Chains A and B, each alone.
Chain A
Amino acid sequence: MGQITLQGVQKSFGPVHIIKGADLDIADGSFVVFVGPSGCGKTTLLRLIAGLEDVSGGKILIDGKNVVDTPPAKRGLSMVFQSYALYPHMSVRGNIGFGLKMAGLAKDEINRKVEAAAATLNLSPYLDRKPRELSGGQRQRVAIGRAIVREPKAFLFDEPLSNLDAALRVQMRIEVTRLQKQLGTTAIYVTHDQVEAMTMADKIVVLNGGKIEQYGSPLELYERPANLFVAGFIGSPKMNFVTGELALQKGAATIGVRPEHLKIERDGGGGWQGTIAVAEHLGSDTFLYVDAGPLGMLTARYIGELSLHAGDRVSLVPDPQRIHRFDDGGNALRG
């Protein structure tokens, strides 16, 4: 079991409020990603759950029990750090088995469990090596092995893939997701990479300035962003925002259209007129950055190749079903 509930959790460092009251319900077995720009409090929130920081207010419940006064070791969680944080003087075996040794398990049992974990992570040939003799990806696997071997109630991941190169990151992303599904253990994963968030999460928590902006499934966030921040943060390239007369006509202070929901037509059609400033041809996609005069710069995405170039005039027609409307407080207007 690993159900985690936050009730009005707050954290301040002196006069600085890092977390301004977070309420969250994380279901057992789900994969939840905390995402947000740097300094938004996502790592702090994770460390509060881990017990590495003390809360300034509120409750953290793990399986219904308030753990704010419980030391990290007694919370039954395990954590994977961004820096891997392996014990440099211990072998891979020692690293993975350390938690079990601290729990006072018999030597045979530790060995059996360490070897099983190592087999799951393809680490069996490296069990007697020291961390410095491993590559970055292998070190990351050892850190994950250390986390899974204890059969915790939940895994906490603090940007675990950010030190890996791009190709390895994609591979590890898939491995971590598969492992979590296979074990069925609750996972909380912190990242600033929205692609990681969208691909790995059952549910995403978008944080900004110490506040939870929205909590929902990746597609919910994409299709029904609660406010301007979430609308701009989720999705790549970023959503286009238009204010002024055009927005007022739709009864909103700001309207937003995603680049993939703008139909690109050659000049002369209806819609928003503009000149292409930059065209990016990726083969699979074409991105157009269009100077639309009073509307500002707009980004449009076309699936496939489109032979348009900088200087060409185009008109962009927004899909009327896919226009997001926001009031002057930045909150989404529905209906």
Chain B
Amino acid sequence: MARMATRQRVVISTIGAWLFGFLIFFPILWMVLASFKTELEAFAIPPSFLFFHWTLENYATVQERSDYFHHAMNSIIIAGGSTLIALLIAIPAAWSMAFSPTKRTKDILLWMLSTKMMPPVGVLVPIYLIFKTFGLLDSRIGLVFILCLGNLPIVIWMLFTYFKEIPRDILEAARMDGATIGRELVYVLTPMAIPGLASTLLLNLILAWNEAFWTLNLSTSNAAPLTTFIASYSSPEGLFWAKLSAASTLAIAPILVLGWFSQKQLVRGLTFGAVK
């Protein structure tokens, strides 16, 4: 009886999980499907799910009208650059807070987090003026800079929790074994922290890739990443759903592929410390 009940529960929760997963995935699926429809079919009511006239025309138009690779390259540089710089700053910061905390460490961490509580639009005007003054508008360097600073608190928090999980005893054992600080870092700490570093890097890459507020407001063409590329299709003159969908699919494709191959790392990263 008890066994039956357990089996039933497993079946029900499995079905439930699949349904929930499908629900979450549906908008993306719908977008991909719409990108293969004609403009007319894209907003037809009732909508057709699979039986429509499949076409690649939208992708051709999108590539023709705007240079996808230019935007994709900007996205890679901006997301990649801001992530790398954030890691370079965050690793020593998190390291020192995790391994030699002071009375103020907690306050510093909370203060950093508090900067994420302010809506970015609140500082749009000052940031815009600063960018204008320093000639950073529509420049990749400017976007790398602002995205790096924007995500830094999250990166430091994530790394801090990772480093905190590394038992002090192991570092002391290495010290007793005659490892200098440098060798302790190379042979013991880094190999133990690699999963944490990898998932922080991935998560930050995704956050920076999808960031739209600053990229839309501070870039127009030269430095415009894929977010601007998508936005150019939601024009006020009319809805081009199929083309918008094609542009969006193209924009998320690289990060979706990366996310798919690293999902194990990502899940581990996001649930780290939750279960021991």
Give Cα A50–Cα B180 distance, bound, in whole angstroms: 15
Most buried by A among B172, B180, B183: B172
- Which of A81, A82, A102 sits near B178, CB closer than 8 Å? A102
Give Cα A86–Cα B169 distance, bound, in whole angstroms: 9
State whether the Cβ of B170 lies closer than 8 Å to any Cβ in chain A: yes
B172:A73 contact, CB within 8 angstroms: no
In the assembled complex, which residues on chain A have CB atoms less than 8 Å from the CB atom of B172? 52, 72, 79, 81, 85
In the assembled complex, which residues on chain A have CB atoms less than 8 Å from the CB atom of B188? 87
Give Cα A98–Cα B187 distance, bound, in whole angstroms: 9
In the assembled complex, which residues on chain B have CB atoms less than 8 Å from the CB atom of A103? 178
| Interface residues in A54-93 (C-beta closer than 8 Å to B) | 71-74, 77-79, 81-83, 85-89
State whether the Cβ of A209 lies closer than 8 Å to any Cβ in chain B: no
B175:A102 contact, CB within 8 angstroms: no
- Which of A52, A74, A98 sits near B177, CB closer than 8 Å? A98
State whether the Cβ of B179 lies closer than 8 Å to any Cβ in chain A: yes
A85:B177 contact, CB within 8 angstroms: no
A73:B169 contact, CB within 8 angstroms: no
B222 CB, nearest partner CB in chain A, Å: 45
In the assembled complex, which residues on chain A have CB atoms less than 8 Å from the CB atom of B177? 73, 78, 98-99, 102, 146, 150
State whether the Cβ of B46 lies closer than 8 Å to any Cβ in chain A: no
| Interface residues in B130-182 (C-beta closer than 8 Å to A) | 167, 169-170, 172-180
B173:A85 contact, CB within 8 angstroms: yes
B192:A73 contact, CB within 8 angstroms: no
Give Cα A89–Cα B191 distance, bound, in whole angstroms: 7
In the assembled complex, which residues on chain B have CB atoms less than 8 Å from the CB atom of A150? 177
| Interface residues in A88-115 (C-beta closer than 8 Å to B) | 88-89, 98-99, 102-103
How many A-B residue pairs lie within 8 Å, measured between CB atoms?
Answer: 58
A85:B170 contact, CB within 8 angstroms: yes
For B170, give the chain A residue with the smallest CB separation. Answer: A85
B169:A85 contact, CB within 8 angstroms: yes
In the assembled complex, which residues on chain B have CB atoms less than 8 Å from the CB atom of A52? 172, 175-176
For B192, give the chain A residue with the smallest CB separation. Answer: A89
B170:A73 contact, CB within 8 angstroms: no
B176:A98 contact, CB within 8 angstroms: no
For B171, give the chain A residue with the smallest CB separation. Answer: A85
Give Cα A99–Cα B177 distance, bound, in whole angstroms: 4
A73:B173 contact, CB within 8 angstroms: no
B214 CB, nearest partner CB in chain A, Å: 38
- Which of B167, B179, B191 sits near A73, CB closer than 8 Å? B179
A40 CB, nearest partner CB in chain B, Å: 20
Give Cα A42–Cα B204 distance, bound, in whole angstroms: 45
Give Cα A150–Cα B177 distance, bound, in whole angstroms: 8
A77:B176 contact, CB within 8 angstroms: yes
In the assembled complex, which residues on chain B have CB atoms less than 8 Å from the CB atom of A71? 175
For B168, give the chain A residue with the smallest CB separation. Answer: A85
In the assembled complex, which residues on chain B have CB atoms less than 8 Å from the CB atom of A86? 170, 173
For B194, give the chain A residue with the smallest CB separation. Answer: A89
For B190, give the chain A residue with the smallest CB separation. Answer: A89
Give Cα A203–Cα B176 distance, bound, in whole angstroms: 25
Given A72-B175, A89-B191, A83 contacting B183 (CB threshold 8 A)? no
A89 CB, nearest partner CB in chain B, Å: 5
A73:B187 contact, CB within 8 angstroms: no
Give Cα A81–Cα B170 distance, bound, in whole angstroms: 9
A83:B169 contact, CB within 8 angstroms: yes
B100 CB, nearest partner CB in chain A, Å: 14
B197 CB, nearest partner CB in chain A, Å: 14
In the assembled complex, which residues on chain A have CB atoms less than 8 Å from the CB atom of B183? 102
- Which of A72, A79, A83 sits near B167, CB closer than 8 Å? A83
For A103, give the chain B residue with the smallest CB separation. Answer: B178
In the assembled complex, which residues on chain B have CB atoms less than 8 Å from the CB atom of A83? 167, 169
Binding site for B on A (CB under 8 A): 50, 52, 71-74, 77-79, 81-83, 85-89, 98-99, 102-103, 146, 150
Binding site for A on B (CB under 8 A): 167, 169-170, 172-180, 183, 187-188, 191-192
In the A-B complex, the 7 residue pairs with the closest CB atoms: A85-B169, A99-B177, A73-B178, A102-B178, A85-B173, A89-B191, A81-B169
Known: A73-B179, A81-B173, A87-B170. 17 other contacts (CB 8 A): A50-B176, A52-B172, A52-B175, A71-B175, A72-B175, A73-B178, A79-B176, A85-B172, A87-B174, A87-B192, A89-B191, A98-B177, A99-B176, A99-B177, A102-B178, A146-B173, A146-B177
Give 11 pairs: A residue, B residue, CB < 8 Å, sorted on A: A50-B176, A72-B176, A73-B176, A83-B167, A86-B173, A87-B170, A87-B174, A88-B192, A98-B174, A98-B179, A103-B178
